[in-house]
Structure 1
Amino acid sequence: MMSDVEDELDLGPLFWSRDIDEHPFGTVSLAMLQANPVMEDHCQFEIGRDSIFVGVYDGHGDSDEASRFLADNLCNNLTRLAQKGTMSEDVLKRAVVATEDEFLQTVYDEAGSCCLATVIWKGSLYVANVGNSRVVIGILLRKSDIFAEQVTKDHIADVEDIRKRIKALHRDDPDIVFEKDGVWCSKGIPQVSRAIGSAFLKIPNRYVHSSFFQRYKLYLPFNPPLLKGEPELCRRLLYPDDKFLILASGGLWENLTKKKVVEIVNENKQTGIARRVIIRALKEVAKKKQMRFDDLLSVKKEERRSFHDDISVLVIFLNHDFLEKGGVAAHERSIRGFSSSDGPSSFRICEEIVDFNTSSNSGLKSEASSSCHT
């Protein structure tokens, strides 16, 4: 458990947090830390009348253009599609695809973003994931042990199966994946094999800068696209021993394992827990770099990226009495990272589609309780 001194550390102007807030199914803690010259991460927490929407958008390409576009448009597209029908994995997928289509119509450069979009509604968790952000659930097992279940898959070239798949699709390009400084890359995008945007790796006629060819060793023509934007989908029932959800961008998971993050959340108070998770990640960074923690905090903004990436963390605590009631009354609002005030939220859902058969709660869940696919 962290000391009071650690709990009160001043992380400086590159840090933002909301220590605790209420939602229809419990409470939430949020925190973000900037490392790039431009904060490339965006996140949002949309509180509806009986549901919540959470978006974590991890931008790349030295820009927040794609991540900001997702934060401004994805939830609105989801609300529009859900109102026309019902909430489902397909509705969530169509919202992500529609938002990327809109973005690709307007942006012609390297701007791209990972996209983690989740909905909690009527006892179910819906997830659409593109990239290397994660949803991890803290599950309380017998004897008060805590287990970390990763709901999402990492779409990164570090995964051997993904590297093989990419190479098989692009046999004529010997540079399609390569290792640099211990990290596997897929062309110009470090690590990720899926992303929203990054039009120059998907659409040949979007090469508007000749430097792309030299920088990324691009070959024309290419088919299929060098990067996928299709989300992986999941619907999972939430059980009484599911205590909390952790949603975070890749900057966190580069420094802390899912097991360690779940333990930190489980062993500390709810208030300010997202902030404390980031502090623990920074301590790991300092340890790796063999430097004092205070010295890491004093690194200037223009130099911080050489030490760690932007980090976004949301910890969602679940009150299952509230979940069984379909949620309790909560002030409908939109919480955005690095914003000093809340705005109104237009997030709405019509009706549920299919009732899953619930099963007994016994530690790890059966395959029938979770369905993940592309």
Structure 2
Amino acid sequence: MVSGSLMRMMPPCWRPSVEGEDSSRGDDANGRVDGLLWYKDLGDHVTGEFSMAVIQANNLLEDHSQLESGPLSLYESGPHGTFVGIYDGHGGPATARFINEHLFGYIKKFTTENGGMSADVINKAFLATEEDFLALVRKQWLNDPHMASVGSCCLVGIVCSGMLYIANAGDSRVVLGRLDNTYKEVKAVPLSSEHNASVESVREELRSLHPDDPQIVVLKHTVWRVKGIIQISRSIGDAYLKSAEFNRDPLLPKFRVPEPFDKPILSAEPETLVQKLDPEDQFLIFASDGLWEHLSSQEAVDIVNTCPRNTIGI
């Protein structure tokens, strides 16, 4: 959960545990490590505080997160703000790592060209990052076809000039803790929608985009999946579901769609929100679905609001 940051914390934001390594609790350069858990209880910077935590779900770390603060353009004289990125990878670490290394650079580039921050700037940065990653997949296709099956959800938040910009592709979520002055309570305000086939509106969107494909969403083992393969409808990467050129040998058959397709099945275009920050806005929580599968938005907000400030990491 983040209310801001002074600088990029660390490329994947933490030091993962690896097999054979001493997993006892200990200090890390930027936080604390306890087995597969990395956390930083509280950090200070010029415009606020942040705390964060990561639990490694798989032996191979597929997820990255990023915090930046300072100029949001290529020039010091450009707009300043805070950038938060949550990159929930799947199929391997390559896409999440690629987003971590390229997306913010595109944000700065397009902010410079546009003369300021906007939803259009963020949308262009997502699509440029997607285009570059697919170009990398194409370049490595014969030597590493598995790259075509690697992808990542991408959730971004930017605070700039009193405005909040949110962009999401995938099923991560950002929640605002807002003070209700009438009841003197901090209420949860979800600011993003999950692009997951378990959501009826997402299934309806997919069916409307692919009216000639009765198998665009399939209920498989009680779980709704796009083409019976993947739950999310938007991502960066997943080239085998974006272009038919990657839906063939030498990619393993288990990653291939049986029917030919002539337009992308998944989309990299984010859903964006822009709103003014108000004095009642207390904090923001950014997290992947690994958190939201266990906590409601309000439960997470209550934890942040009621726990001591130095123990709010999730």
- Which TM-score applies when normalising by structure 1? 0.67
- 3-state SS in 1 of match to 2:153: strand
In the TM superposition, residue 228 of structure 1 has moved relative to its aligned partner by: 0.7
Residue 188 of structure 1 contacts residue 216 of structure 1 at CA under 8 Å; is this kept in 2?
no
Specify every segment of 5 or more residues in structure 1 that has no aligned partner in the other structure, as ranges. 1-8, 278-374
Q: Map 1:302-317 onto structure 2 (within 5 A).
A: none
| Residue matched to 1:27 | 49
Question: Which residue identity lines up with residue 78 of structure 1 in the other structure?
Answer: I
Structure 1 residues 170 and 92 mapped into 2: Cα distance closer, same or farther (>3 Å)?
A: closer
- 3-state SS in 2 of match to 1:129: strand
In the TM superposition, residue 250 of structure 1 has moved relative to its aligned partner by: 1.2
Of 216, 224, 227, 2:263 maps to 224
Of 24, 28, 34, 1:12 maps to 34
Provide the C-alpha distance between the structure 2 equivalents of 1:196 and 1:188, rounded to a whole number of angstroms: 19
Q: State the percentage of identical aligned residues.
A: 40
Residue 23 of structure 1 contacts residue 47 of structure 1 at CA under 8 Å; is this kept in 2?
no
Provide the C-alpha distance between the structure 1 equivalents of 2:107 and 2:134, rounded to a whole number of angstroms: 18
Of 34, 46, 58, 1:36 maps to 58
Residue 63 of structure 2 contacts residue 88 of structure 2 at CA under 8 Å; is this kept in 1?
yes
RCO higher in 1 or 2 (8 Å CA, sep ≥ 6)?
1
In the TM superposition, residue 206 of structure 1 has moved relative to its aligned partner by: 1.5
Of 74, 96, 106, 2:126 maps to 96
| Residue matched to 1:67 | 96
Structure 1 residues 120 and 177 mapped into 2: Cα distance closer, same or farther (>3 Å)?
A: same
Provide the C-alpha distance between the structure 1 equivalents of 2:84 and 2:205, rounded to a whole number of angstroms: 30
Residue 52 of structure 1 contacts residue 120 of structure 1 at CA under 8 Å; is this kept in 2?
yes
Deviations 1:57-91 (A, max 9, x none): 00112x01000100111111111221232111111
Residue 70 of structure 2 contacts residue 81 of structure 2 at CA under 8 Å; is this kept in 1?
yes
| Residue matched to 1:197 | 237
Provide the C-alpha distance between the structure 2 equivalents of 1:100 and 1:155, rounded to a whole number of angstroms: 17
1:179 aligns to 2:219 (yes or no): yes
Provide the C-alpha distance between the structure 1 equivalents of 2:55 and 2:228, rounded to a whole number of angstroms: 24
In the TM superposition, residue 27 of structure 1 has moved relative to its aligned partner by: 0.3
Residue 220 of structure 2 contacts residue 228 of structure 2 at CA under 8 Å; is this kept in 1?
no
In the TM superposition, residue 168 of structure 1 has moved relative to its aligned partner by: 3.6
Q: Map 1:103-182 onto structure 2 (within 5 A).
A: 103-107=133-137, 108-141=147-180, 142-182=182-222
| Residue matched to 1:81 | 110
- 3-state SS in 1 of match to 2:164: strand
Residue 16 of structure 1 contacts residue 32 of structure 1 at CA under 8 Å; is this kept in 2?
yes
In the TM superposition, residue 210 of structure 1 has moved relative to its aligned partner by: 5.3
Deviations 1:300-330 (A, max 9, x none): xxxxxxxxxxxxxxxxxxxxxxxxxxxxxxx
Deviations 1:103-146 (A, max 9, x none): 11002510110001111011111111101111100011123212
Provide the C-alpha distance between the structure 2 equivalents of 1:20 and 1:214, rounded to a whole number of angstroms: 43
Provide the C-alpha distance between the structure 2 equivalents of 1:92 and 1:168, rounded to a whole number of angstroms: 25
Residue 247 of structure 2 contacts residue 257 of structure 2 at CA under 8 Å; is this kept in 1?
no
CA RMSD in angstroms, aligned pairs only: 2.0
May I ask how many residue pairs the two structures share in their alignment? 265
Specify every segment of 5 or more residues in structure 2 that has no aligned partner in the other structure, as ranges. 1-23, 26-32, 72-79, 138-146
Residue 242 of structure 2 contacts residue 267 of structure 2 at CA under 8 Å; is this kept in 1?
yes
Structure 1 residues 260 and 176 mapped into 2: Cα distance closer, same or farther (>3 Å)?
A: same
- Which TM-score applies when normalising by structure 2? 0.79
